[in-house]
Amino acid sequence: MPELTIGHLAERSGVATSTIRFYESRGLVHSRRTTGNQRRYEQSELRRVAFIRAAQRVGLTLDEVAEALATLPDGRTPTKADWHRLSRAWRPRLDEQIRRIELLRERLDGCIGCGCLSLRSCALYNPGDEAAEHGTGAVRLEP
Amino acid sequence: MPELTIGHLAERSGVATSTIRFYESRGLVHSRRTTGNQRRYEQSELRRVAFIRAAQRVGLTLDEVAEALATLPDGRTPTKADWHRLSRAWRPRLDEQIRRIELLRERLDGCIGCGCLSLRSCALYNPGDEAAEHGTGAVRLEP
DNA sequence: CGTCGACTTGAAGTCCCCTTGAGGTCCCGC
DNA sequence: GCGGGACCTCAAGGGGACTTCAAGTCGACG
């Protein structure tokens, strides 16, 4: 079974057919057409869809995904080395995401201790709201 | 300095004034009006804004935030215990988020090893695309 | 008292990512 | 050959979270 209908691609990639058409309209996946004008997908498109969804979870927009996919060779099916190259770049992003959430969690823990959310300018430690004086984003969660 | 203008609230919370008006239109923050119809915010609104931003980072929608804020007592300024109660619930969500990203990272590592993104049904381990047979979301990143 | 930046409103616009609907065609099993 | 489910296109809708705009008004400082 060398080719997939849009329904099969949808089912096996876990995204809606409407989404696949949408992706295709944005050039993120490709298909050939049957004589009856129906889409047929190569197996390798499955990987593109998987890549797109994974990339979104890493925080890329579809434009960024398109940019990344544009660096794939055209004319041949991407090899594992190709996919490897693309997804390797995500590692630091994921690390960073985890770091940020952990930081938030930590701060939350610290702040739960005092019961407030004002962090740097916590009212318990900073009753006069001193941070206001030096105008630096007193309450901001991210510096 | 008991009250803040929208500009000050914006500056100190790190969000745009337009955002604050938007939040207010959704009932997420409150203000009184001067005789000249300008908004004036109590200091405690700063915490509400901080809460909103933090909640968003935890993955809540504004509707969920509103729901959470609705459980605050009306008639009095929320105490630390009130904020504590609200934000305590985030801890597991954050843990879960971290877990999910770590899982993605792991899978990515594993998959980088083989150069593909098809995970459970990686073509190298599953050349006949066996997963297709038992129709369970062969390529899905999240089961 | 004047100036000028900060403030007001409501509607509309934007960005991202899709989903839905209408109206029609294809194709596969019976 | 036919019925019905899967497919087609294109336009519009939706939701979440804001931002921008126009046409003013307010208010603190000099």
> Collapsing DSSP states into helix, strand and coil, what is residue B41?
strand
CA–C1' distance B75–D24 (Å)? 35
Give the nearest chain A residue to B118 (CA atoms): A47
**From the list A83, A108, A111, which residue is nearest B115 (CB)?**
A83
**From the list A112, A135, A139, which residue is nearest B84 (CB)?**
A112
Residue A2 has pLDDT above 60, yes or no: yes
* Residue lying closest to nucleotide D16, CA to C1': B61
Check residues B14 and A1 and name the one with the higher pLDDT: B14
Q: Is the CB of B35 under 7 A from strand C?
A: no
CB contact under 8 Å between B105 and A98, yes or no, is yes
In which region does residue A59 sit, left (phi positive, over 0), alpha (psi from -120 to 50) or beta (all else)?
left
Q: How far apart are CA B105 and CA B99, in angstroms?
A: 10
Residue B117 has pLDDT above 70, yes or no: no
Q: What is the mean pLDDT of residues A124-140?
A: 35
Confidence grade of residue B112 (pLDDT, cut at 50, 70, 90): low
Mean pLDDT over all residues of chain A?
Answer: 80
For residue B1, the model assigns a pLDDT of 52
**Range with the lowest mean pLDDT among A107-116, B87-96, B109-118?**
B109-118
Q: What is the mean pLDDT of residues A133-143?
A: 37
- Rg of chain B, C-alpha, whole Å: 23
CA distance A28 to chain B (A): 16
Q: What is the mean pLDDT of residues B15-36?
A: 97
For residue A31, the model assigns a pLDDT of 97
For residue A107, the model assigns a pLDDT of 77
For residue A140, the model assigns a pLDDT of 43
CB contact under 8 Å between A90 and B101, yes or no, is no
For residue A117, the model assigns a pLDDT of 54
Q: Which of A51, A64, A58 is nearest to B119 (CA)?
A: A51
Strand partners, B4: B41
CB contact under 8 Å between A105 and B98, yes or no, is yes
For residue B114, the model assigns a pLDDT of 55
Q: What is the mean pLDDT of residues A14-42?
A: 97
Contacts of B105 in chain A (CB under 8 A): 91, 94-95, 98
Residue B127 has pLDDT above 80, yes or no: no
**Range with the lowest mean pLDDT among A10-19, A101-110, B60-69?**
A101-110
**From the list B53, B114, B138, which residue is nearest A12 (CB)?**
B138
Q: Is the CB of A138 under 7 A from strand C?
A: no
CA distance B118 to chain A (A): 6
Entry pTM? 0.80
Residue B119 has pLDDT above 50, yes or no: no
Give the nearest chain A residue to B78 (CA atoms): A116
Q: What is the mean pLDDT of residues B89-102?
A: 90
Q: Choose the most confident range, by mean pLDDT, from A80-84, A111-115, B131-135.
A: A80-84
Burial of B14 from C-beta contacts in 10 A (0-12 / 13-18 / 19+): middle
Contact assessment for residue B79 and residue B86, using Cβ atoms and an 8 Å cutoff: no
**Range with the lowest mean pLDDT among A94-98, B86-90, B110-114?**
B110-114
Q: How far apart are CA B71 and CA B47, in angstroms?
A: 15
The separation between CA A77 and the C-alpha centre of its own chain, rounded to angstroms, equals 23
CB contact under 8 Å between B112 and A81, yes or no, is no
Check residues A141 and B81 and name the one with the higher pLDDT: B81
State percent of chain A over pLDDT 70. 76
Measured from the Cβ of residue A143, the count of other Cβ atoms closer than 10 Å reads 8
Nucleotide nearest to B7 (CA to C1'): C6
